[in-house]
Structure 1
């Protein structure tokens, strides 16, 4: 059994499935459409905002762990619940990440330098996360001990934190994501509470995609490699890609890395190979995503694009 739960949904390429994102329909601000098992939507702003020439359009999964790709006027300053969340790109594209533990009500605001403002109030659906029980892991993988090992883990954590903190000035995420594997079986869903060898752990912030060892891992969207190392205690071979505006994806347990830090990659480019290095009991890819310290489900961006 790999690092997840047995069974799961088989998916090949971009066929529909309950973990996939969906190209959303355009709906009015009081309607939402469930597509592919994820709550997908696109909301236009009020008539007053449109008349003033400023609007907010959003597309994506409106649920805990979802990511919304937005469009507004270029250079607009974005705030989420009053907190700074970046600046819209020259194409007017920006991101809204809904953390795994996002509150049910979220306010998105776009403001131009001349003071014009548009606002969206969103209702976020609960994630409905699983409980996952995994037994048979080596004790050191569940609760590491020993001064040397703890020092190694601490040093690795510092390096990984720098990777997650990467901030490339781009909007490479605007075209949405493709699956990082051509064929796989979902063996562990994002956000589940994990109980390892009977010990409750923090939530699992990745989607586990089971596939044979050596299966090529493909970049799901363009970006720049901001971390690439092997031999990590928990992750084994780990690669991170910065897709712009603080959106970073990670690829864990690789048997082989095919890229180096600082390298630019395009969608579909091979970045490594599936393995079972680190904390894993079978070959699989753990696919993770963070945006400004918010934990997101990467599968919910599959097929979602920036609103026109």
Structure 2
């Protein structure tokens, strides 16, 4: 099953990206939706918690966080200011409906691995998860995001996957169907925090860290042009699309995270050039 995904940027984040760094005062929205990246600002020096999780607040008071796929109907944001005053904001979370997506023709050993292969898969995915723990004060995300390739949308965020007839985890990303070898471009600047050519499930895999715990992930790549620690700029070609790992055909899989919270790339704000 294939369907188009509408690109609906978060208006809050779009407005934030258009403001100068100094004197930023972006309020939290009253309503958010599952899978959305939220960016706001507060008084510099404040501490911000989303539920039980703490968000990095930079020198200008900016912070970001994500709303997970199955977030409950409300999320509480607590801000403690330098003077000790505390304020709480309850954000209403719009609940999304996720359809079932059936994918056939996948390599059988990637869908129902034997115990040894399952252990290898777990070890590989633990390495990827470790890379997503990075947290520094870079703000590459402030430039907005461009799609890593142009093509038909063949898979969307949140859909429940049935792989070769076997129920699997939801699909956490945006799939763009393109031929093998199609250049893949960085959606925003950042640092390569993970690069491996042949993971069992995800094949050629690259993670780009955009700062504040935000990472883009690219899977099933046929070629990787960068290495761990490389700096990439927005629009830079860093890999080529493919169908490596658990894939039924060539495409670019673009995933997006706030640490371990998986977000919807289709909801990210477009870079200024892409909005023209």
> Given the two structures, how large is their TM-score scaled by the length of structure 1?
0.79
The aligned counterpart of 1:150 is 118
* Corresponding pairs, count: 266
The aligned counterpart of 1:211 is 178
Pairwise mapping of residues 118-129 of structure 1 onto structure 2 (< 5 A)? 118-129=87-98
Would the aligned equivalents of 2:203 and 2:220 in 1 still touch at CA under 8 Å?
A: yes
Deviation at 1:193, TM superposition (A): 0.5
The aligned counterpart of 2:212 is 245
Pairwise mapping of residues 27-176 of structure 1 onto structure 2 (< 5 A)? 57-58=27-28, 62-81=32-51, 83-147=52-116, 149-176=117-144
Would the aligned equivalents of 2:104 and 2:248 in 1 still touch at CA under 8 Å?
A: no
Would the aligned equivalents of 2:78 and 2:86 in 1 still touch at CA under 8 Å?
A: yes
Q: Relative to structure 2, which stretch is displaced further, 257-266 or 137-146? A: 137-146
Distance 1:201 1:151, change over 3 A: closer
SS at match of 2:72: coil
Using the alignment, how far apart are the partners of 1:195 and 1:185 within structure 2? 21
Distance 1:74 1:225, change over 3 A: same
* RMSD (Å), alpha carbons: 2.6
- What is the CA deviation profile of residues 114-147 of structure 1, one whole-angstrom value per residue up to 9, with x for unaligned ones? 2133433211111221200112223211111152
Would the aligned equivalents of 1:24 and 1:60 in 2 still touch at CA under 8 Å?
A: no
- What is the CA deviation profile of residues 159-213 of structure 1, one whole-angstrom value per residue up to 9, with x for unaligned ones? 21221222232222123211111x2111011011011121111111111111111
Which residue of the other structure, out of 3, 6, 9, is the alignment partner of 1:22?
A: 9
Distance 1:143 1:216, change over 3 A: same
Deviation at 1:25, TM superposition (A): 7.3
- Any stretches of 5+ residues in structure 2 without a counterpart? 17-22
- What is the CA deviation profile of residues 217-246 of structure 1, one whole-angstrom value per residue up to 9, with x for unaligned ones? 111111111000111101110000111111
Using the alignment, how far apart are the partners of 2:76 and 2:70 within structure 1? 16
Extract structure 1 runs of 4+ deviating beyond 4 A.
Answer: 53-56
- Any stretches of 5+ residues in structure 1 without a counterpart? 10-17, 27-39, 43-52
The aligned counterpart of 1:178 is 146
- What is the CA deviation profile of residues 34-72 of structure 1, one whole-angstrom value per residue up to 9, with x for unaligned ones? xxxxxx999xxxxxxxxxx99652479821111111122
Would the aligned equivalents of 2:30 and 2:90 in 1 still touch at CA under 8 Å?
A: no
